[in-house]
Amino acid sequence: MVTIRLLGPPVIERDGRQGRPPRGRKAWALLAYVLLAGRSPSRRRLAELFFGDADDPLGALRWTLAELRRALGRDVLVGDPVAVGFGPDVTVDVRLLQGDDPDPAALLDLGGELLDGVNLASCPEFESWLLVERSRLSAVAEAGLRRAAVGLLAVGRARDAVAYASKVVARNPLDEGNHELLVRSLAMSGDRAAARRQVAICADLLRRELGVEPSPALRDAARVGSGSAMVSPLAGRAAAVSQLQAGRAAVAAGAADAGIQCLRRAVAEAARCRDTGLQARALAALGEALVHAVRGRDEEGAVVLAEAIQLAARAGERATAVAAHRELGFVEVHAGRRRTADSWLTRAQALAETDQELAAILGVRGMNASDMGDYPGAFEFLEESIERADRGGDDRQRAWSLSIQARAHLLRGERSQAAEALTTSLDLTDRHQWVEFLPWPQTLRAELDMYSGDLDGAADRLEQAWALACQLGNPCWEGMAARGLGLLHAGRGDRAAASEWLGTAIARSNRFPDRYLWVHAHTLDAAITTALDQNDPDRARPLIDSLTSLAARCDMRELVVRTQLHRYRLGDGSALGSAQLLASEIDNPALSQLLCDAPRGSALTRA
């Protein structure tokens, strides 16, 4: 048996003992690239990437592949394109992270960052790829550990969850949600003193490193399971049903706090009367309310939804299980955890039966694919979502999926198709007076107005969207509207106003721990582009660093490419090659045009 460990300092083990490593750092780099590349690379591409400065690049590649075969003791890494060819007797740690449902216990044993200690200054394109892969794989490991911790909490194994939540915090200590998960695990395991200490540790860390205060959800997590939940004056199943109905009605009417109190009572009363199916429905409703109706509560909502899935399976509550899986997928999409999102949504789709259920699931899957830059996949999901929503008479879902479809067309520069989708989305939104959703399609429509030169029309839409978003307190809508106003002022030549609005967009889209990270990244990209267009590289540089890390961790592939194009404009000559390498599997005509135009870009910003 051969084990290849690429996370941490790379090693090859034979039957549990460390074997002879291949000679040269490029051998490890080549092995990692072939294993993690989206498709098998050609020999010519590998030779250019790793041995472009050699007298005989293809000869150097052949020697390195032979060296790897000697170290592995197997006839692998052959052909053109180069195929891996590993059999079942070869285990690779990074492949654990590429699976749909990795073994949670194995995640605890994973090493550190990809190819720790291996750096190739002579291969700048590979170095850019490695930086992105390090961030991406770290985020995938973090997501898998989080999912394991949430699953253990859902089945009452809080003590076991602590180990996973601790690893999550160690991997990404500046994410408040990770600390909240650990605090919740400690509190539910009965160690309230440790939970309070973790709250204090997180609070001091966030103040020192980010200059922000923790959200109330962090301290609330230390009190879970304390017996402080409100008790209904009535009792029994009828009381639980009444509280469930009242909670749903209150949340739908916009009274989120009152509705959540009712739903908590419904959960507690259903548990007391031992009605598993009712408890599952109440938990699913509570989880959905925590995710959508209040800010900063996605972590609690995820645990509640995971518990709902467990009870729904026992009670045969198929529709409840579908809804809970879908909502967990939605949480993961917002957080940029692509693989876990797709896993939850795939399970939801397998359980779904009705057009309405499938329309909602496919809409979120389309959103996830679009965020990743997988436009063919996004359009396939969204088109079916729109068709099923139409058949099922769900106009709100149809409006929502059309808006995500329009966003994808807008990002691809397909403005006529974006306009067609937005016209229908806005008509449906107005018809059903869906005020809570209106700022999103309004902002997208305003961007089309700017492209067509109708700045006054764009200003009217954006000002309305901004005012309504602030009234609703929705950070996503606020960020998008402020971004649009920043671009509007930039188009009018008002640099000061543009800078102020784009700064507001960045702050507003990032003001809750459970924000929609694609929107935050999208606002960062707009602010960087505007700063570079205004020949202000000092303002752009720290924003590029922030976007690079965020886009890589959240697998936002197109935005990763755009960060490289921004670096090229700042004078990094190798960044264009890195952008071309990273963009090779993204089907976006607008991005392809940017790559073609980049060499003819502004000489001043690249000076």
Q: Which residue has the tokens 């000679």?
A: 23
Peptide bond into 589 cis (omega under 30): no
pLDDT of residue 51: 94
507-525 per-position pLDDT tens digit? 999 999 889 999 999 999 9
Cβ pair 74, 90 in contact under 8 A: yes
Through-space distance between the first and last CA atoms of the chain, rounded to whole angstroms: 53
Residue 335 tokens, joined:
């957080």
Residues of the chain with pLDDT > 90: what percent?
85
Q: What rounded mean pLDDT belongs to the chain?
A: 93
Pick the CATH number of 2-122 from 3.40.640.10, 1.10.3720.10, 3.40.920.10, 1.10.10.10: 1.10.10.10
Lowest mean pLDDT among 96-100, 327-331, 332-336: 96-100
User: Between β-strands 90-92 and 2-5, what pairing exists: parallel, antiparallel or unpaired?
Assistant: parallel
DSSP-derived secondary structure for 170-234? HH-TT-HHHHHHHHHHHHHTT-HHHHHHHHHHHHHHHHHHH--PPPHHHHHHTTTTSS-S---SS
**CA separation, residue 123 to residues 33, 120, 606 (Å):** 13, 5, 21
pLDDT of residue 607: 38
Give the residue-averaged pLDDT of 294-302.
90
pLDDT of residue 601: 64
Burial 343-353 (b: 16+ CB within 10 A, else e): bbbebbbebbe
Residue 25 tokens, joined:
């750092």
Burial 257-296 (b: 16+ CB within 10 A, else e): eebbbbbbbbbbbbbbeebbebbbbbbbbbbbbbbbbbbb
pLDDT of residue 226: 53
Secondary structure in 3-state letters for 445-492: HHHHHHHCCCHHHHHHHHHHHHHHHHHHCCHHHHHHHHHHHHHHHHHC
What single DSSP character describes residue 13?
Answer: E
The β-bridge partners of 3 are 13, 91
pLDDT of residue 100: 64
Whether the predicted pLDDT of 446 surpasses 50: yes
State how far the Cα of 320 lies from the Cα of 308, in Å rounded to an integer.
8
Lowest mean pLDDT among 67-71, 194-198, 353-357, 447-451: 67-71
Amino acid at 480: M
Whether the predicted pLDDT of 109 surpasses 90: no
Q: Calculate the CA dihedral of residues 187, 193, 199, 202 and round it to 10 degrees.
A: -110
User: Between β-strands 90-92 and 17-18, what pairing exists: parallel, antiparallel or unpaired?
Assistant: unpaired
Nearest CA to 522 out of 421, 397, 411, 430 is that of: 411
Q: Which comes out higher in pLDDT, residue 309 or 229?
A: 309
State how far the Cα of 152 lies from the Cα of 159, in Å rounded to an integer.
9
Nearest CA to 412 out of 589, 533, 595, 549 is that of: 589
Q: Which comes out higher in pLDDT, residue 429 or 254?
A: 429
φ, ψ of residue 18 to 5 degrees: the values are -70, 125
pLDDT of residue 233: 53
Nearest CA to 216 out of 293, 292, 125, 297 is that of: 297
Residue 392 zone, left/alpha/beta (φ > 0; ψ -120 to 50; rest): alpha
579-605 per-position pLDDT tens digit? 999 998 899 999 999 999 998 765 444
Whether the predicted pLDDT of 8 surpasses 90: yes
Residues 6+ apart with CB under 8 A from 292: none
Residue 248 tokens, joined:
């749903």
pLDDT of residue 604: 43
Lowest mean pLDDT among 450-454, 563-567, 595-599: 595-599
Residues 6+ apart with CB under 8 A from 525: 547, 559, 562
pLDDT of residue 229: 45
pLDDT of residue 602: 54
φ, ψ of residue 175 to 5 degrees: the values are -95, 115
Edge-first strand order for the sheet with 17-18 is 17-18, 11-14, 2-5, 90-92
Give the residue-averaged pLDDT of 525-550.
96
456-505 per-position pLDDT tens digit? 999 999 999 999 999 999 999 999 999 999 999 999 999 999 999 999 99
Domain covering 137-221 assigned CATH 1.25.40.10 in the classification: yes
Whether the predicted pLDDT of 434 surpasses 60: yes
Instruction: List, by residue range, all CATH 1.25.40.10 domains of the chain.
Output: 137-221
What single DSSP character describes residue 41?
Answer: P
Using DSSP, state whether 78 is helix, strand or coil. Answer: strand
**CA separation, residue 147 to residues 95, 152, 287, 314, 364 (Å):** 18, 9, 16, 20, 19
Whether the predicted pLDDT of 10 surpasses 80: yes
pLDDT of residue 338: 95
Cβ pair 543, 558 in contact under 8 A: no
Nearest CA to 240 out of 211, 274, 208, 191 is that of: 274
Give the residue-averaged pLDDT of 298-302.
94
Instruction: List, by residue range, all CATH 1.10.10.10 domains of the chain.
Output: 2-122
**CA separation, residue 71 to residues 15, 20, 64, 117 (Å):** 14, 6, 11, 19
State how far the Cα of 445 lies from the Cα of 464, in Å rounded to an integer.
12
pLDDT of residue 112: 87
Residues 6+ apart with CB under 8 A from 451: 415
218-268 per-position pLDDT tens digit? 999 999 875 444 445 557 899 999 999 999 999 998 899 999 999 999 999
State how far the Cα of 522 lies from the Cα of 477, in Å rounded to an integer.
12
